[in-house]
Structure 1
Amino acid sequence: MHIYGFARGATLAAAVLVAAPALAYDISGAGATFPLPVYARWAQSYSKETGDRVNYQSIGSGGGIRQVKARTVTFGASDQPLTAAELEAAGLIQWPQVAGGVVAIVNLDGLKAGDLVLDGPTLARIYLGEIARWDDAAIAALNPKSKLPAQPIVVVHRSDGSGTTFCFTDYLSHASAKWKETVGENVAVDWPLGMGAKGNEGVANNVATAKGAIGYVEFAYAKQSGSTVVHMVNHDGRVVAPSKESFRAAADNADWAHAPGFFRLLTDQPGAQSWPIAAATFILLPKTPKDAEAARVALKFFDWAFVKGGAAAEELDYEPMPSSVIALIRKSWSENLKDAEGKPLVR
């Protein structure tokens, strides 16, 4: 099911809106930095097509959750999904809007992207401080054909709370029982060692300037900054590169149909092609919004993104959600969203 005329064709819906600019609407959203490039691109294209404006502030997942709970924005965005119980307590629904990946990046002389392979347990041991040099036997065993430098490893991590950190630490918790027990997963953790940097830009800059450094960033930013990306051994024991295909494999292999409130993480998914540090980013919306019309416009925007935003997402190295998941999301909208009079918000 599509909303606001999409069932009859997106072009017709757009034509109606453009023909009546007086009905143009402004909506506000806030939250995760991970999807900012694609949300900004979508908002720009959508505004040109419809006249409606989507004002999105990338203040971090925690800030987005707080603002939508306080009903100070039309929608929130978070890379860390809320549990079904948390959603119920806050009167919210959530859904995955787009997927992407987090990658490890390094600064090692003579090695280019893909020349270095790591697996989850080894990456966790590096961030725990148990592996301190690049010529360690555990790294050498994964890279028999690469010449590894005999130099210390400089660990770089985020200093600010972020969904990128949540995804990365959740993966390390899957890979290492010790990591899960001593550090765990969250948007901010007590790092055992290393230097902190703010944002993806800060991590990438610190890695670029420190010989022997390793850090983690969103894949889209790694490509834009020209960072040396590490390939990973995935859940099925296969060496994979980060790409829209490996992100798609992770999203396709996730069991969204049996995920209450769409609470599903994409880290360490099975599948020969699955990228192991994949992530979905989520939208949060009140079940009974204060401004029903603003909520309808938000849904119209996100449905437009499902229908027309796939190419832009892939161009920016994100992966659109599978069609089967989009069908589940639209069903959730129709079943859970009501206006103040109890009438379905989607019509």
Structure 2
Amino acid sequence: MKARQRQLRPLEGLWLAAAVVLLVASVGAVDKDKSYTIVGGGGTALRDFVSDAVGNATQDANYKGLYLPFYTVGTGAGQQGFLNNTYQYAIGDFPLSKKDYDSAQRPILQIPISFGPVVIIANLTPEFHASNTLQLSAPVTAAIFQGNITTWDDPAILAINPNLTKLQPPIPAGTKINVVGRSDSNAAAYAFSQWLAQASNGTWVLGVNKTLPTSPGVKVVTGGSNVTNYLLKTPFSIGYTDAYAGKKAKLPDAALQNEAGKFVRYSKANWTFPGVNITIPAPTADWSKFNLTNLPGDKTYPVVTTSILLTNNDLTGRETRGAAQKAVFGYLLGPAVQGAARSYEQFPLNNQFLNASLSAVNSIQVIESKDFFQADQLPKLGAPYNVNFQYN
């Protein structure tokens, strides 16, 4: 993608990242002397990915006069902004809750656009990280975050990390594990606690929550950047975050034990989910129970978020902006954006999800009689494709 075109500015006391771009090509239904604003908001883990994606749309030869701010207020705040019509769309790392879905008061669509790993990061010794990867199972991780395992030489940790016993210099006996968690609603906590609830064989007793409950000894901070800052500054610490934040902080992620019993780092995983039968809900359905946690497969990474676009199904009342929104959503599913996802530690949709998402975007009702995506324009499986954004 092109260099970022975004600005940071405060809004209601929060620092929000915005990709504010003027799209500069031809769209027949847009007045050449007018600009149309399409405002989105959502998850902080998606800030650069989505901001760069809408910025890159300026290079498309079929746009003109569209102004696309995307505010990273967090997934929950983005969803609420969409529901109360502050934003025309939202993108976040978990679906609407059942309560919010039932209270929407209008037909909406929930459309996947990418997959994102949640990582566990530990700050051990440079000697360990130089040649080893920490391995963690769900039962051991649950015990650490609940305060049942408190030192790095606990037998349960050493049983799956024998190299910890061979370090020179060794980690001192009884070295405390400094655990950090987040108090604010976040997608990482949601996926992380889902994994522990599903895979820890009953060890995890604190439930599934977007604000992860923790034991009294855990350091609690607000915001993902404070998690990585704590991990960087605190020896022998451990915490969870989205993979992009971990990569930017240059912190090594642990290999997590998946459903097949294999320890897998997200960068080595197979994100096409081969051979896995995944039921994708209808875009107008309740998605609150949907997750991709702990799926089978030797190379499957077990802690996964799904980035989900929220949009109104009926955009006929928005004149040319409705059709423009449909084009932008199609662009997010196109090869330029999907092909760049890995640069942001997101992973492109596999064929099953991609076709379901394209069909959902195709179903959006706009004032123009001709749909953007005709049947012969849908992608052929495994092949590059182009979508015609022109409308008249």
TM-score range, shorter chain: 0.7 to 0.9
Counterparts of 1:80-229 in structure 2, within 5 Å, are 80-82=94-96, 86-87=100-101, 89-90=103-104, 91=106, 92-109=108-125, 110-112=127-129, 114-147=132-165, 149=171, 150=173, 151-176=175-200, 178=202, 182-193=205-216, 194-229=218-253
Alignment check: 8 A CA contact 1:106 1:230 kept: yes
- Please, which runs of 5 or more residues in structure 1 have no aligned partner? 1-13
Q: State the Cα distance separating 1:162 from its structure 2 match.
A: 1.0
2:96 is paired with a residue of what secondary structure?
Answer: coil
Distance in 2 between residues matched to 1:116 and 1:158, nearest whole Å: 22
Distance in 2 between residues matched to 1:135 and 1:346, nearest whole Å: 59
What's 1:302 paired with? 329
Distance in 2 between residues matched to 1:199 and 1:212, nearest whole Å: 21
The one-letter amino acid of 1:29's match is G
Q: 1:339 to 1:44 in 2, by over 3 A?
A: closer
Q: State the Cα distance separating 1:72 from its structure 2 match.
A: 1.6
TM-score w.r.t. length of structure 1:
0.85
Q: 1:212 to 1:254 in 2, by over 3 A?
A: farther
Q: 1:171 to 1:250 in 2, by over 3 A?
A: farther
Greater relative contact order (Cα 8 A, min sep 6): structure 1 or 2? 1
Q: Does structure 1 residue 36 correspond to structure 2 residue 52?
A: no
Identity percentage of aligned residues: 23
Which of the residues 239, 253, 262 maps onto 1:238?
262
Distance in 2 between residues matched to 1:22 and 1:267, nearest whole Å: 48
Distance in 2 between residues matched to 1:242 and 1:168, nearest whole Å: 14
Alignment check: 8 A CA contact 2:139 2:203 kept: no
Deviations 1:61-116 (Å, cap 9, x if unpaired)? 11111111111211012212126785354132101111111111111113217521
Alignment check: 8 A CA contact 1:124 1:175 kept: no
Q: 1:106 to 1:135 in 2, by over 3 A?
A: same
How many aligned residue pairs are there? 330
Alignment check: 8 A CA contact 1:30 1:64 kept: yes
Q: 1:135 to 1:254 in 2, by over 3 A?
A: farther
Which of the residues 24, 27, 33 maps onto 1:17?
27
Q: 1:334 to 1:152 in 2, by over 3 A?
A: same
Q: Does structure 1 residue 323 correspond to structure 2 residue 347?
A: no
Q: Does structure 1 residue 54 correspond to structure 2 residue 68?
A: yes
Distance in 1 between residues matched to 2:325 and 2:270, nearest whole Å: 26
1:319 is paired with a residue of what secondary structure?
Answer: coil
Distance in 2 between residues matched to 1:187 and 1:344, nearest whole Å: 41
1:211 is paired with a residue of what secondary structure?
Answer: coil
Q: More helix per residue: 1 or 2?
A: 1
Q: State the Cα distance separating 1:253 from its structure 2 match.
A: 3.6
Q: 1:118 to 1:189 in 2, by over 3 A?
A: closer
Distance in 1 between residues matched to 2:255 and 2:201, nearest whole Å: 22
Q: Does structure 1 residue 268 correspond to structure 2 residue 294?
A: yes
Structure with max Cα Rg: 2
Q: State the Cα distance separating 1:292 from its structure 2 match.
A: 5.0
- Please, which runs of 5 or more residues in structure 2 have no aligned partner? 1-23, 374-392
Q: State the Cα distance separating 1:275 from its structure 2 match.
A: 0.8
Distance in 1 between residues matched to 2:256 and 2:302, nearest whole Å: 7
